[in-house]
Every structure is written in C-alpha cells, then in structure tokens.
Amino acid sequence: MVGGRMETERIALSQPERDRLRVLHEIEQGHLTQVAAAQRIRITDRQVRRLLLRLREQGDRAVIHGLRGRPSNRKFPASFERRVLVRVGQRYADFGPTLAAEHLAKENLPVNRETLRKWMTKAALWRPRCQRVKKIHVWRERRASFGELVMQDSSPFRWLEDRGPACQLIAVIDDATSRIYARFVEHDSTEENLRTFGKWLRRYGRPVALYTNKNSIFRTTRPVALAEQLRGEEARSQFGRALKELGIAWIAAQSPQAKGHIERLFKTLQDRLVKEMRLAGIDTIATANHFLETRFLPEWEQRFTVAPRNPHNAHRRLGREHRLEEILSVHVARKVAHDHTVSWEGNRWGVPREEVCAGHRGAQVEIERRLDGSHWLRFRGR
C-alpha cells in the first residue's frame, strides 16, 4: 500500500505462459472444463488441477516455472570454469573452442564446446567470426562413388611455424568420401606432385578423374612438338602425360571456388594440423610426414570421412602395363650424338657399349628421370 493505493505487480510472462494463464481463467469462469483445457494446452488434467490450486494461492505467478531465475543444477562450478580458462590460456590460447575442447577432454577437463565458446568469448580468448556477406556460389553435390573424382593441390604455409623450415603440403582428397592423403615437401615441383599422386595410386588404384588448378605442373603452355603433331596429340605437361598413360581424365578448375572442397581442407588443416604438430613438438619435414602417416591421417579417416552414396569403388586396378616407376617420371626428348652420348641440363651421359645398337647414332630418344633419381634412355620403346 503506497499513499492509499495498491501497487500492481508486473510479471513478465512468455507467450506459452500467457496462453496457459488464459486457459486457467476460462476454467475458473466456467467457460472450459478441466479435461478440455488439458487437451488444449497439452498437459494432463491432473496437472491442470495442480495449476488451479497454485493459481488460487499465488495468483498469476502460478504459471511461471519454479526454476526460473535459479542457477541450473548442471552448471559448472566457477572454480572449474577458472581452471579451464587458465589451461586454455597456458596451452590452447589460439585454438578454436572445438579443438580446445577435444584436448581438454584428454586432460580430464571435459567441457562442451559451446560452453567453452561462451567462456572463451567472455574471457577474450576467442572472438566469434563476423557474419560477412559472401558471394553465393552454386553448391555442387559430391560425386557418388569413391574414386570417381579426386582433387589434388598444394598449400604454401608456415606449417611448422617458427620451429622448422618453410614447406608445402601437397594433398589429395576424394570428393565422395573426403578421404585424404598428404605429404610435406620443400618445393611444389612436378616430381613431388607425381610422388604424392603415386602414393594414392598404390593405395587405392586409378581414379576416374583428377581435378586440379591450372598450374604449369598440370597444364603446359609450350608449343606442340613435331612428334606430337604427327601423332595428333596436344602439348601436355609431365603430369598430364602421366595421366594420359594411366587413363585418368584431367579436369581443370575454372576458379578458386570451383575447387572449394580442397580449399576448405587446407583451411581446416592450417588450423587443426598446425596446432596438433605444435603440441607434438614437430620441427622437421621428416617428422611431420611421420606424424601425418601414423597419427593424423588415421584419425582423419575415423572422424571426417563419410560414406559415399554409391558403395561401388570407382578406382581401377593398376595393370602390368602401368609401370609407375616409368610413367611417374620426367620424360624429355633428346638426340644421340655421334659418340653415343646424350645431353640434358648441362650433363652428358654415354650409352653403355653393351647397349649400343643399330640406329642409335643420331636417333631421337627419350630420357626418363625417375623419382628415385636414376636416369634411363628409351629408344624405340626399349
């Protein structure tokens, strides 16, 4: 009572609570039976009787849930929150909430990633990404079968941060399943791309098609050689020639968005893989590749690969005619000199006396520089 007037209490009600209160008042006014009211607000008639009793005792506040304003029974103690945030600041300061939650669980500090996200945001250890308006690209459905389409690309990045040398990651990813293979290399060269793709071929077989960018490793701008013109062929890079010999179609991406699957892979690896290697103390390319083979790729296989729509494996087996040591090599055409030698890149090699045969002198031959560093001369298919 203030100044002879009764103050009216203001109660904040949600829309479902207002609806429930209206039904209870209709019961009291005799406009609705308890059974009909229970059906309308989807509770039992016994619950309706309880609400009516509370309405007579508490007034309109009867429809407010008794736990409103009280802390949840599942809420973490403040001491646990402080302990988690201290650990995040010590070891996982630049980790995202999802990856940080995974590692905290391994340290017996289990916390839901969304809860951790709120805590890290409040403590200024994580800044939510701004909602940016992006150009909309038409979403492309995954291929149906494993091996129907694989993508290959490389990513220059400080993968070892300041602990080791700068390097590149060459990765291959299957479009249907997200299964991957990857290797760290010093340079993004033709040989290293052939070597990485060779690992995929030996593991799974020949995919139907390979999707890459238009890098000179995959596409050449050199003029068509006379021998190619005579065979009715177009100019190909060393990688393109290898794909042709293996019967694998090459598809060139027309834009960065077109190869978004592997671009997203690199974005994930630049976050997750870099931090995993930091925690493991990886500081050389050799140990980084060992870490990939033995720990990271098997975990990726278990967690991130998906089942294809079609269980048929579209990879084709490697036949006897697919001699990878010959196909996955650098081929150059050369002319045999009168002294039975050939020259390439400032080096001169002599044909062994026992290998000299009629027609060698002055003939067009091919030199193969194989991935093991050896050099071979090919003459008339031999």
| pLDDT tens figures, 1-14 | 444 444 555 666 66
Tell me: do 170 and 208 sit in the same domain: yes
Q: pLDDT over 90 for what percent of the chain?
A: 40
Q: Is the pLDDT of residue 67 over 60?
A: no
Q: Which helix (H) or strand (E) holds 109?
A: none
What's the pLDDT tens digit per position in 224-233? 665 655 555 6
Sheet with 330-335: strands ordered across = 330-335, 364-369, 375-378
- Contact, 167 vs 186, CB < 8 A? yes
Lowest mean pLDDT among 60-64, 91-95, 186-190, 241-245: 60-64
344 strand-pairing partners: 347
pLDDT at position 229 is: 57
Evaluate if residue 295 carries a pLDDT over 70.
Answer: yes
Domain count, the chain: 4
59 and 86: one domain? no
Query: Is residue 134 one of the residues assigned to a domain?
Result: no
In this structure, the answer to whether residues 272 and 334 fall within a common structural domain is no
Examine the pLDDT at 36 and tell me if it is beyond 60.
yes
pLDDT at 363 over 50: yes
pLDDT band, residue 32 (cuts 50/70/90):
confident
- Which residues constitute the domain of residue 365? 329-378
Distances (CA, A) of 263 to 50, 142, 147, 175, 267: 59, 15, 19, 12, 6
Task: Provide the pLDDT for residue 202.
Answer: 95
Number of other CB atoms surrounding residue 36 within 10 Å: 14
Q: Is residue 34 part of a domain?
A: yes
List of residues 6+ apart from 88 with CB closer than 8 A:
95, 100, 104, 116, 120, 125
pTM to 2 decimal places: 0.70
pLDDT at 317: 94
pLDDT recorded at residue 131: 47
Whether residue 334 sits in one domain with residue 254 = no
The answer on 255 and 176 residing in a single domain is yes
Same domain, 171 and 249: yes
The pLDDT of residue 66 is above 60? no
Tens of pLDDT, residues 69-125: 556 556 778 888 888 888 888 888 888 888 888 898 888 888 888 888 888 888 888
3-class secondary-structure state, position 74? coil
Report yes or no on 177 lying in a domain.
Answer: yes
Q: What is the pLDDT of residues 337-357, one digit of tens each?
A: 877 788 888 788 877 777 777
| pLDDT tens for each residue of 160-169 | 999 999 999 9
- The stretches of the chain forming alpha helices (DSSP H) are 15-28, 34-40, 45-58, 78-91, 97-106, 113-122, 190-204, 226-231, 238-246, 260-280, 285-291, 297-303, 324-327
Indicate if 93 and 233 belong to the same structural domain. Answer: no
143, part of any domain: no
User: 199 and 334: one domain?
Assistant: no
Q: Are residues 174 and 249 in the same domain?
A: yes
Residues 213 and 279 in one domain: yes
Same domain, yes or no: 176 and 291: yes
